């Protein structure tokens, strides 16, 4: 059986941070349990924000 669940509040990430710690803290606060065989999917956008690899298009110059 396949099912999906999302974490609330993760999308509020606005700055560079420790993504692993933030995900564990969010999962613990929401009583989210991972079981053997579960797959955790993390968007590339979330990884980019957490590592500081973002560009503010309002402040960048057009090429």
What is the model's pLDDT at position 63?
58
Give the distance from CA 18 to its chain's centroid. 10
- Asked if residue 35 is part of any domain, the answer here is yes
Whether this model's pTM surpasses 0.75: no
- Asked if residue 55 is part of any domain, the answer here is no
Q: For the chain, which ranges sit under pLDDT 70?
A: 11, 62-63
Q: At 19, phi and psi to the nearest 5?
A: -60, -45
What is the model's pLDDT at position 3?
86
Give how many domains the chain has, as a whole number: 1
- Asked if residue 23 is part of any domain, the answer here is yes
Residue span of the structural domain in which 32 resides: 10-50
- Asked if residue 32 is part of any domain, the answer here is yes
- Asked if residue 1 is part of any domain, the answer here is no
CA distance 28 to 40: 15
Give the distance from CA 23 to its chain's centroid. 7
What is the model's pLDDT at position 36?
92
């Amino acid at each position: 059986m396949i099912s999906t669940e999302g974490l609330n509040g993760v999308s509020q990430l606005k700055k560079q941070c420790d993504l692993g710690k933030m995900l564990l803290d969010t999962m613990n606060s929401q009583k989210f349990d991972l079981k053997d065989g579960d797959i955790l999917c993390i968007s590339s956008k979330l990884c980019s924000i957490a590592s500081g690899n973002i560009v503010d298009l309002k402040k960048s110059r057009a090429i």
